[in-house]
Amino acid sequence: MPVLLDSGPDEGLAWHYGNPVTEARSLVAGNGVVDLHNREIVEISGPDRLSWLHSLTTQHLSALTPGDSTTALILSPTGHIEHVLHGVDDGTSFLAWTEPSRADALVDFLLRMRFAMRVEVARRTDLTLAWTGHRVDLDPAWRSRRSEVGGSEVFLPAGESLEANVGTWAFDAQRIAAGVPRIFVDTDFKTIPNEIGLMGTHLDKGCYRGQETVARVHTLGRPPRRLVQLHLDGSLSSLPEVGDPIEFGGRVVGFVGSSARHHELGPVALGLVKRNVPVDAEVLAGGIAAAQEALVDPDVGLHVRPVLG
C-alpha cells in the first residue's frame, strides 16, 4: 500500500510505496509509473489555437507540429509568471496540464482573451495525468508528451488506471537533481523567466505580454534572482519546507522551493536566491546548512556570459 502525502501541494498523492531507493532506480531505468492525478488539465481547440497561443505566451507555438511537446508561460504585463501550460498538440487540439488549483484561473484568462479568434477552451476533468517513463505498452489513444524530467507524461481517461509503482519522493528527487523547477512551487509571484533559466521561453518570436521585461533582462543581463540547486547537510533528518527562508550573512536572501532525498546525492532542494549571493557561498535553507550548485548564471545576459563557478 502506498504512503500518501498528508500536506503540501501534492497532498493525496503517493509519497512512496515502501522503498524509495528501488523506486528511484525504476525512474532511472525508465520503467516507473508515477500517479500525478492532482495536475489539472486544459484543452484548447479550434483552427486558430496555435497562432492565438503563440501571441499570448512566451513560447513559439505557431509552427508546432502534431506530437511535439512544449512548455509555455503566460506573463503579467511586467513579466512575472502568472500561468504555465505543459502541453502537446495532436493537429486538432492543444492539451496541457497545469499545477493544482490553477486551471480555473487559466481558463478564465484564456476565455477573456479570445475576442474574435476561432478557439474553444475547456477544463478536462475527465482526464488525468501519469508519468510513464519509457513504457511502450500504452493505449495508443492516450495522448502523451515528453516530460522535462525525461520519459513521458500521459493524459489518460480518469476511469482508466495504470499500476503506479513510484511515489513523489523519488520523482521529485529526480526532478530536483535535474534542475527542473516546478512553477508555483519553486517560483513565487515575482518570478520572471530569466531567473529560472528562461524555462518555457522562446526569445526569437513576436510580441507577447511581459516580453519587454524578459528582453531587457536578457539584453542587459543580471536577473534580480537566480535558481540554485541546494545540497543540504545530510546529517540531519529534516528537510526544509516550501517557502522556508534562505539566509546568508545573517539576512534572508531567498526562499526554498521543493526538497527531497535523492538516492545518490542525498538531501537536495531548489531555491531562488538574490543574484549578489556568491555562487560558492554556503547558505542556510530553512535553518539547514546547504552548498549551492548554480543553475542560472547570476550575470547571464546577451552580452555578459561568465562561466558558472
Per-domain boundaries in the chain: 1-219, 222-299
Is the pLDDT at 309 greater than 60? The verdict is no
> What is residue 159's predicted lDDT score, i.e. its pLDDT?
87
Q: Would 1-219 and 222-299 be classified into the same CATH topology?
A: no
> What is residue 307's predicted lDDT score, i.e. its pLDDT?
52
Is the pLDDT at 302 greater than 80? The verdict is no
Query: How do residues 57-85 score in pLDDT, each as one tens digit?
Result: 999 999 999 999 999 999 999 999 999 99
What is the CATH architecture assignment of 1-219? 2-Layer Sandwich (3.30)
> What is residue 135's predicted lDDT score, i.e. its pLDDT?
87
Mean pLDDT of the chain: 94
> What is residue 287's predicted lDDT score, i.e. its pLDDT?
97
**DSSP sequence for the chain:** -PEEP-SSTTTTSEEESS-HHHHHHHHHHT---EE-TTSEEEEEESTTHHHHHHHHSSS--TTPPTT-EEEEEEE-TTS-EEEEEEEEE-SSEEEEEE-TT-HHHHHHHHHHT-TT---EEEE-TTEEEEEEET---S-TTSEEEE-TTSSEEEEEETT------B-HHHHHHHHHHTT-PPTTTS--TT--GGGGTSTT--SSS---TTHHHHHHHHHH---SEEEEEEEE-TT-S--PPTT-EEEETTEEEEEEEEEEEETTTEEEEEEEEETTS-TT-EEEETTEEEEEEESS-TT-SSS--PPP-
The domain made up of 222-299 is a member of CATH 3.40.50.300: no
> What is residue 207's predicted lDDT score, i.e. its pLDDT?
87
Confidence bin at 305 (pLDDT 50/70/90): low
Query: How do residues 225-245 score in pLDDT, each as one tens digit?
Result: 999 999 999 999 999 999 999
